[in-house]
Amino acid sequence: MPDSASIARTRKRRRKLADDRSRKLLGPILIIVLVLIADQITKFWAVSALTDLNSVPLLGQFFQLSLVYNEGGAMGTNLGSSSFYLIIALILIPVLGFYVYHSRAN
């Protein structure tokens, strides 16, 4: 009889550890999703609101919003075609996901 009780406790403990691990991943996943949503909303707004305007002054000449298209990659780099950036992203996203999954606190 004591063996079955310890087996039940072990199963409960394992289930609790699995739930704790899942909760630790919830934060990074939520941040990623919120950043992606905010990125898409601001891009949609910029294209719809700034297309026909030269610039929109917010603080006079000091701070203005202008619609500019980036033909290269991040920060205006031009390391290759858009396929190059797609391939790099498809490699890096799973690697970063693996890192986040395995580097979370136990």
More confident residue, 16 or 82: 82
The tokens for 33 are 């999703």
Q: Enter the pTM of the model.
A: 0.54
The tokens for 31 are 């941040």
Residue 83 has pLDDT above 70, yes or no: yes
Residues ≥6 apart with Cβ < 8 Å to 28: 100
- The torsion region of residue 104 among left (phi > 0), alpha (psi -120 to 50) and beta comes to beta
Three-state DSSP state, 84: helix
Cα dihedral across residues 71, 77, 81, 82: positive or negative: negative
